[in-house]
Structure formats: structure tokens, C-alpha cells
Amino acid sequence: MGKNRDIENNGGNGGTDKLIEKFDRLVEKKGITLRDADNFKVMENVFDDQTLLALYKLVNKGKISAIGGSISTGKEANVFYAEDGDGHPAALKIYRIQSANFNTMGEYMAGDPRFSSIRKSKKEFIFAWTKKEYANLIRARDAGINCPQAYLFDRNILLMEFCGDRETGTAYPQLRQAAAGFTKSQGEEIYHAIIADMKTLFNEASLVHADLSEFNILFDGEKHIIIDMGQAVLPEHPGAVRYLIRDIKNINRFFSRFCEPLEDEAVFKEIVGAERMQP
């Protein structure tokens, strides 16, 4: 507890440098593999005091045994290759506290009864958003959706299953990239599988993805994997219907190159039931 308290009290100018020094000493002491270390630490918009503190605690608890290079850089977060405490491949997702777009993210948080009591500071908002993605991944996975398994979260950090080649550490491609090699019949099969997942997500997990597209679906060579669940909302969210219709339109647009997609309204009614909602 003393070490965690020491690192937490480093503030002011140079505070981040002191945190990095302490983090380096811990990494060395614990024998943690830190790949691409220079590139890893210079990204100040990602590795601020709060992030370094959370990383320090995860390393100190033995939850992370290696931290590698960047997998992806999104609008709100960076994802890095990592290994869990047992040396198994994992993905380390870090939400940026200072540069996140709170106006955009706020509409998905507002109206969610699970997070109605969060404070409005940037820090508390991002911490709640990270917890929200963790909770959404658990719900989706429990419902049978092929999505990353969430391991743990701390502050603005989410540790989850690595979706990629475990030998090379290469992440699976996005659907938009993998689709270049699809036959029409394969594309049509995947299209219907994704529509089925949207129905399962809505009815079994009580979630609408709210940003489903070829950018937020991976392909492992055999099946698709739905990712980026932070913005997913409950069906009772005031924007749920609008988000679901947008998801449907995105999927229908993308797969129209492979097959004749179902009408948007038909997909909507298939997912939610003809009597439950009207678009």
C-alpha cells in the first residue's frame, strides 16, 4: 500500500516523470517485459499520471507480465499488446483522459441507469466509461456473442482477450480489410450471422452496439468478432432505437456488395419483434 500511495502523491510539474521512474523501477523489479519502451512512454496524451498509476497497480499485483507495441489507435483510446500475469496474450486498452471527446461519448452515457450517478469531471467520466465497456463485454459474452473476453479494469485501463495470432502477436484484420478475400456466398453467410448476433445482443444481452460497422468487427479467418463495446446501450436508452437503425444501415450498406440485404425495417422487426418497437 505504501508504494501505491507514494506514486499517487507525485503531482505538479515533473510528476509524470517521477511516476515513469517509479514505474520503470517496478518493471525492472518484477521482471516485466516492456517492448518498444521509448514509443510506449512518450505518448503523453495516453500515459498521464492516472494511467501510469493504474498501470503501476496492475503490474504490482501481477496482473500484467509484458507490455508491447500498439495494436490500434482509436478516437478515444489506444490498444496495446500485453500479456497477463500467466504470460498469456492480452489486449491493454487505455482510454485517453485529456483528449477524449466527451460531447460525443456523453450521449451514450446519458440515459443509462447503470451510470446515472457518475460525476461530470473528465477523469470520473472516463473511469465510468471503462467500467461500462467491461460490463458490456461481460453481458455480450455471457449471451454467446463472439467478442473479446474482458479480464479486468482499473480506472481508464481495460485488460481483455487478445484477438489475433498468438504466435506473432498480430491482431486479426477488421472486417473491411478481410472482406477483400470473401466470396459472395461467404459474405452472405457472414452477413446473416452478424444480423443474428445483433438479435442476440438485443434480446439476450439487452444491448444495442450503437457503433456497429466494418470498422468494429474483426475476422479471424473463420468467424467474425464484435469489438468496441464502450458505447453500447441498454434498449431503454432514449437513443437505442436510433442507434440500432444506424447499425442496421451500416451492416446492410457494407454487405450489399455480396448479397441482396434485407430491408432495414425487416431487420429491425426481426431483432426487436414486430410488436415491441416501431422505428
Task: Identify the DSSP state of 141.
Answer: H
Q: Which of 200, 204, 269 is nearest to 241 (CA)?
A: 269
The residue from 38, 211, 247, 264 that is catalytic is 211
Cell of 125: 467520466
In degrees, to the nearest 5, what angle opens at C-alpha 117 toward C-alphas 150 and 115?
Answer: 30
Q: Cα(16)–Cα(43) distance, rounded to whole angstroms? A: 12
Q: If DSSP codes are grouped into helix, strand and coil, which group holds residue 261?
A: coil
| pLDDT value of residue 1 | 30
Rounded to the nearest 10 degrees, the angle between the axes of helix 15-30 and helix 49-60 is 20
Show Cβ contacts of residue 135 under 8 Å, excluding neighbours closer than 6 positions: 114
| pLDDT value of residue 123 | 86
| pLDDT value of residue 153 | 96
In degrees, to the nearest 5, what angle opens at C-alpha 242 toward C-alphas 200 and 260?
Answer: 65
- Domains, the chain: 2-165 (3.30.200.20), 172-272 (1.10.510.10)
The residue from 49, 112, 228, 247 that is catalytic is 228
Q: Cα(199)–Cα(144) distance, rounded to whole angstroms? A: 11
**pLDDT tens, residue by residue, 183-200:** 999 999 999 999 999 999
Q: Which of 218, 214, 227 is nearest to 176 (CA)?
A: 214
| pLDDT value of residue 106 | 84
State yes or no: is 48 an active-site residue: no
**pLDDT tens, residue by residue, 122-180:** 888 899 999 999 999 999 999 999 999 999 999 999 999 999 999 888 999 999 999 99
State yes or no: is 228 an active-site residue: yes
Regions in the chain scoring below 70 on pLDDT: 1-47, 119-120, 274-279
Show Cβ contacts of residue 121 under 8 Å, excluding neighbours closer than 6 positions: none
Q: Is residue 105 within 8 Å of 95, Cβ to Cβ?
A: no
